[in-house]
Every structure is written in C-alpha cells, then in structure tokens.
A = this chain, B = another copy of it.
Amino acid sequence: TFSNRGMTLEDDINQTNQYYLDVDKAVIHKKPTPIQIVKVNYPKRSAAVITEAYFKQASTTDYNGLYRNYYLDFEAKETKNKTSFPLANVHEHQIKHMESIVKHGGIAFIIIRFTVHNETYLLEAEKLFPYWYEKQASGRKSIPYKEIKQTGYLIPFKYQTRVDYLSIIDQLYFNNH
C-alpha cells in the first residue's frame, strides 16, 4: 500500500499538480514564497547571490490556476492536532482573498491534512467562512475534526496524484468523475 509518511502536504500537492500538468488536465502552480531582497552580490563569471533577504507575509493563498475554464484558488494546511483544525492557521487576508475569488466567479477552497489520521480533506471556502466569522465574533478557536469529516470531502490518495483534489472538484462543480 502507498503511504504519505515522510512527504509534506506541499510536496504531495506539488507532485499532483505536476502530474495534472503532464497529462494536460489542469494548469495549477504553487506561488513562490514572497521574499524581500535587501542585498545582492554580482560576482564576475557566476550567478548573482542574494546575501540579505527576509520572508514577507503572503497576500493571497498558496496555489492558483486554471481547470475546465475555471479559475481555481486554494490554501493548504497541515495540522498535528487529532480532534480539530485550529483557526489560527488561517489569516484574515486569506479569507478576504477567498471571498473575492468566490465573488468574481472562481472556485476557492482549503485543503486540510490531519497528519495523525493521515487524512486530507477539501473544504469549500463557502463552508470555511462561517467558522471564520464565528472566530471573529465569539472567539471560536477551531473546527472540530468530526465536522470537517461531515462538511468536507476526503481527498483520495493515489500513486500518481497523492492529493487528487480535482476528483472532488469534478464531483462538486461538474457532476462527474
């Protein structure tokens, strides 16, 4: 049997996206980590070296792209928590971004992996928003694992597509498999 052990969620999604690209199914890429570059050296006869730089806060989500004429946008998060997904993992600007995507006709969602259960779920952005606003309004700290099991969709793990999230998108948006 296949196992996820040792691969991060990001590795698995990158591998899956590469497969989608190779078989010409979808064009979905991870956005590079935004970096503030301060100093660069240009040595003669070799590549420029960045010698001082800092990580910047991303203004959007981890991944976006194109599938079956649709703009797709999602964030990926892993948690070691057994019983819930901590909402502190999701930032306000990411929620605002996903709201814009939905408003302008795109498909937005979050992929959540519970590493302890070795299960990965797709939760539509529209189902994430109410939890987030409960956090803002009444201090809700997390989404119970049991609720994600019910309102989310378990993403199948396959050898060539370790996080085959487009199979869920097919069911949800295109009524087929």
Chain A interface residues toward B at CB < 8 A: 21, 24, 26-27, 29, 31-35, 37, 47-55, 59-60, 64-71, 73, 97, 100-101, 103-106
Contacts and interface: CB of A to CB of B under 8 A. Distances in A.
A51 B48 contact: no
**Copies of this polypeptide in the complex:** 2
Closest CB pairs A-B (n = 8): A69-B105, A50-B53, A32-B34, A71-B71, A66-B71, A32-B32, A66-B106, A27-B100
A53 B53 contact: yes
Given A27-B104, A31-B32, A32-B33, A55 B66 contact: no
B26 A104 contact: yes
Contacts of A32: 31-35
A37 to B, nearest CB: 8
A105 B53 contact: no
B59 A29 contact: yes
Nearest to A69: B105
Nearest to A40: B55
B71 A24 contact: no
A47 B101 CA distance: 31
A67 B35 CA distance: 26
Given A68-B105, A71-B71, A105-B66, A31 B33 contact: no
